[in-house]
Amino acid sequence: MNNQRAFNVQQFLDCLPFSAYQWLVFALCFCVVLLDGFDTAAIGYIAPRLMAEWGQGKGQLAVVLSAALVGLTFGSMAAGPIADRFGRKRPLVAAVLLFAIASLFAAGAGSMAQLTLFRFITGIGLGAAMPNAITLVNEYSPSARRATLTNGMFCGFPLGAALGGFIAAWMMPHWGWRSVLLAGGVAPLLLGVVLLLALPESVRFMVARGWPAMRIRRVLSLIGPVGNAQFFCLTESRPAGADLGGARAVLSRQYAFGTAMLWIAYFMGLVIFYALVNWMPVLFHEAGLSSKDATMVAALFPLGGVGAVALGWLMDRYSPDKAVAVGFALTAGAIFMIGQVGADLTALVVVVLVAGTLMSTSQASLPSLAAQYYPTSARASGVAWMLAAGRLGGITGSFLVAQLAALQLGFSMILAVLAIPGLIASAALFAKQRSSTRSTQWAAEPPNQSFQNRAG
């Protein structure tokens, strides 16, 4: 290698204003996560219609509700290592097209068995799409705004989940529950074509994997002037001595404790999120609200996730682990309060919106924590495997409410039980913060080691 000074890609991203090209990456990934949220939550909004039309009880319905979550687990586990080896773009596009086509088939399902199968396949695509979208935005963001931008992009998920409720409440009286799944297939199918044409590969991944300098320059030149740089390097924060990539780094001694705490926090958060998103319409309806009012109020819960931008701002300026931990502690109290309100529609609207803001904001910030915690060589795996571990919490939450109802627990007691995971998530993140403070240092990756690129 010659003596030409290496071009530091992260310093380049840090020093320039956020460009129109970076906003394009942000917008495309936001749309992916928006439709991910829509398709994930759609089954919960159509659940009361399914129970009425097909004569299914809560136990049978729980299988359908959790089918996509099982698929999400498999999709997330596979997507991370694939993306860390082959790039972020191609797995992302393939995942979006997969859940689009599966949702179209689900709309035509003629039995619970068929619907369960197609929701499982939908989940595989949803699970593979999410970590790659998060990773792409994170890797195109300046260091000082990384949490804010990643959280802002992830706001698409709760916004999409809430949008699903409003669309379902409007569409189902006119065209039935199948129309909701049909909309959840057509929209991502069109988006997949746009992604294929307009979405770039992660520039940090290209440098880390030693892609030709010409290809790296081509992308960077759309952000700002790069001259005729021939060699590129990265600077990133990670525990000292970490030299592994992919899943091996995620489970290595340097990362193992933080990995476990992230998994616990995400697991517990999704126990709450999916238990409430999937069952709120049913629980509110049984508490005395009309079917339409129950669906509309339930849609307010994930809508509160747009507050993740504010929490991202705090994470960029203070301890990110502590900020999210406090959010989960407050979530526990708010979830408990939903059960104390009962069927008072006005009070329920206020409490559900507050609880949803705290819950969804805290949960939406965890992928940003994971993306910051892992190096480029293992970032997609770290984010994806945390999401996969969390999906098991979603499955647990879907079945938990059915079991609590079978035990004849009332509305308030069910909500009290669902507040406990928020406290556990908070404790896990405080523990991660204490551990990370002792183990993290800044390290620069010289271009003549694992992040060397080929000139050309």
For 344-347, the CB contacts below 8 A with 24+ separation are 345/289, 345/293, 345/297
The pTM for the full model equals 0.73
| Per-residue pLDDT at 49 exceeds 80 | no
Which parts of 294-400 are beta strand (E)?
none
Report the side by side order of strands in the sheet with 7-8: 7-8, 232-239, 440-445
Among 377, 265, 360, 239, which Cα is nearest to 321's?
265
Confidence of residue 302 (pLDDT cuts 50, 70, 90): low
Structure token pair of residue 75: 């999709």
Would you state the pLDDT for residue 420? 92
Mean pLDDT, range 124-147, rounded to an integer? 87
Averaged confidence pLDDT in the chain: 80
Structure token pair of residue 402: 């059915």
Question: What are the domain boundaries of the chain?
Answer: 7-445
The answer to which of 138-147, 157-166, 264-273, 357-366 has the lowest mean pLDDT is 157-166
**CATH topology assigned to domain 7-445:** Growth Hormone; Chain: A; (1.20.1250)
What are the C-alpha distances in Å from 150 to residues 158, 352, 362, 367? Answer: 14, 25, 13, 8
Per-residue model confidence as pLDDT tens digits over 408-421: 777 778 888 888 99
Would you state the pLDDT for residue 343? 65
Per-residue model confidence as pLDDT tens digits over 188-240: 999 999 999 999 998 888 888 888 888 888 888 888 888 777 788 776 555 44
Would you state the pLDDT for residue 246? 63
